[in-house]
Structures are given as structure tokens and as C-alpha cells.
A and B are shown apart, each in its own frame.
Chain A
């Protein structure tokens, strides 16, 4: 069983739940930007929830299947077509040998996950099949897909077609999108006005946003309190002595454009971080198109932990659909 790539979209890649454990060596966790969408897609087609899928952004690929199989498309609202006929999203759909899966224009959200029964069977690299393109690691030959590629697919299980994920379990960002943020170690570097403005302003996703970092612009410039330049720190007030960058951390180089580090993050550097987007909201970022209005909402550690519990319960409810 194989999938022939007839058209690759713009940056379609093989992703699973990533490779934790190597960030201290500079290799990020990677994996699906929208992890809930990946888990749901896999469960729909009878896979382990962490099996490798395809992640496509903004524009879907065109894929031909060499054998009968089940597929599911989750994540963004981008209508899927089999031989040109629309099929529902978030649903296990049967595809026959020789049929072609393609996509209409993206309606909302940003990234789709395409799961196929058996999973994409590329070799494991450091325990994961996820593609880390700038490190040429994992996935299909360490890169995003190109027309003419042929993807190996594993042995599928006996899942049934037509199963679907209830609408309330398909988590989507609102308008404006709200991302919950825990202020970080460098919070005191900001002036009181800057602290208020950061959370009060509506920002917009910049077109540069990608798997490494989501950049925003449109809010007021962040001003810093006076400091004595530390030994080893750069001269800009946003510089610090090099430090580790957590996933979800928000740096604001020169105080102008916040950047949230995402799955393919760099592991460290010399910019202060205003805070960190809580883990429960990282998937939402995956579904933000360029120019989406976005607000940062301040939370406490207790609120962040409650959100993590609520999110774990949501994943459990998705799993319960299949018991």
C-alpha cells in the first residue's frame, strides 16, 4: 500500500506526536502543530493515536491511493474531495484503489491532518516519524513532500467507515483568538504600561508565522525598564544573557513583534521572554491564519493547570468515542 503524491500543496509533511527528549541538544519535539487533530484522525481510521499522518498547511495536497483504505481529515475546515466529490471532515471515509483525494479552498483554520489506516510508514528517526525540515531529520527523506513522492503505508486495522468526532470535541480558536499566557521570569523587565498593553492590545498573526514560530504584529511597542547591560547580554533592551527557550515562550525582539515558539522551536538564545502560552492552547495556534486577530489572556499557574486538566478530559472524551 502506498500513497502517490500528485501535488504537494505548499508545505505538506509527515508528522506524529513528535520526538520528546532531545531539546537540550537543540532538536525540537516537532510533531503535529494541532496534536488533538492528529489523535482524532488516527483514532477514526483505527490507528494508534500517535501514528504518523500528513500535516498540510493552507492548501491541501493531491494524493492517489494504490489500495482500498480508510482516511480521515481533521483540523482546519478545508473541504476534502474524493475523485472530485465532497466527503465530510472529522469522519472515517473509504477510498478505493486508484481514487484521488484533493481539497477545496481553506474555509477556516490553517492546518489539516490526513490520517490513513496503517499510518505513514517512513523510518523512525530518534523515535519519531515527524519531519524536521531544517534539520533534514525524520519524515519522508527529511523534507516536506514533493509531487512524485510515493509514501509507504503500514498495515491497517479493521476500522469501520463513517465514524465521526462530535462537533463539540473539534476545538477551534474564536474571534479574536484568545491564547492564555503565564507571565514569565523576565516579566519585570517591562514597564507597568507595557505589561498592561501586552494583554490589552489585539495583535494580528504575521504572514511569516510557521512551525518554528508564530509572529504577531499590530500591538503597541513594548517599553522596558532601565537596566545595566549584563555581561554576555546584547545591547538591545530585549536582550538577555543566553537562556533556554520553552515551547510556547513568547519573545519580543526589540519590543515590537511577539513570537511564540512552536513545535519546531529553537532551544535557546538571547531574547527575553514575556511569558509562555499554556500547553492547553498550543493546538489553537496551529489553526491561526495570517492576519487573524489574537489576544493574549493572562492566567495564573493554577488556572493553567486547570486548563491542562480540562484539555486532558477533552482528549479522554475523544478516545471514549471509540470504546
Chain B
């Protein structure tokens, strides 16, 4: 089994859900399909969806909700 990193393409603020009232896109331990949204990044007054490029299992988030994020920073890891 290998781990795949999902990195942020953007700086900004990371959110695990589309709004404070909705559940997170993915919970720790969830399986992920290619193209699944795993979070959004707010920058320049717009929200950008972060999608998984690969499918995998057991997602582990390394960035918390509402945390600042930098380009290239690892948001989450999935197992394959």
C-alpha cells in the first residue's frame, strides 16, 4: 500500500465543508474517487474546489478547517 498526497495549488483559507451548516466533504477514513471534492480554498473573494486527482481509501487530513494554507502544502493523504 502506498500513500498519495493531495496538495494545495493555492494559498488562502482551507474549509472542509461548503458552508458552516453542512457536513464536511470527506471525513477522516473515507474512501475517495478521482474527481471527488475534498475541500474548498477561499482566496480573492472566491471559493475554489479542491478535487482528488486519484482514487484511494482512508483519507487523512493534515490541514484543519479554516486554517491558512500555502501552495504546495499537503492537504490530505490517501492510501492506494
Contacts and interface: CB of A to CB of B under 8 A. Distances in A.
Given A106-B72, A107-B72, A209 B11 contact: no
Given A57-B44, A105-B7, A210-B45, A290 B72 contact: no
Nearest to A205: B11
B11 A106 contact: yes
**Most chain B CB inside 10 Å of its own CB: which residue of A57, A105, A207, A291:** A207
Contacts of A208: 44-45
A10 interface: yes
Interface string B19-57: 000000000000000000000001111101000000000
Interface in A168-221: 207-210
A207 B14 CA distance: 11
A11 interface: yes
Given A105-B9, A106-B11, A209 B70 contact: no
Contacts, number: 46
Contacts of A290: 11-13, 43, 68
A106 B7 CA distance: 12
A58 B71 contact: yes
Given A59-B71, A291-B68, A207 B9 contact: no
A131 interface: no
A105 B10 CA distance: 8
A190 to B, nearest CB: 28
Interface in A70-118: 105-107, 110
B9 A59 contact: yes
A289 B68 CA distance: 11
A208 B71 CA distance: 16
B18 to A, nearest CB: 17
Interface of A: 10-11, 57-59, 105-107, 110, 207-210, 289-291
Interface of B: 7, 9-13, 42-46, 48, 68, 70-72
Contact of B10 (A10, A209, A210, A291): A10
Given A59-B10, A291-B11, A106 B71 contact: yes
Given A11-B44, A57-B44, A207-B11, 10 more contacts: A10-B10, A58-B11, A58-B71, A59-B71, A105-B72, A110-B11, A207-B13, A207-B44, A290-B11, A290-B68
A318 B78 CA distance: 47
A10 B46 CA distance: 10
B11 A210 contact: no
Contact of A289 (B11, B42, B45): B11
A208 B47 CA distance: 11
A58 B42 CA distance: 12
A64 to B, nearest CB: 20
Contact of B44 (A106, A209, A291): A209
Nearest to B10: A58
A77 B11 CA distance: 14
B11 to A, nearest CB: 5
The 8 A-B pairs of least Cβ separation, nearest first, read A105-B72, A106-B71, A210-B44, A291-B68, A289-B11, A105-B71, A207-B12, A290-B11
A232 B68 CA distance: 40
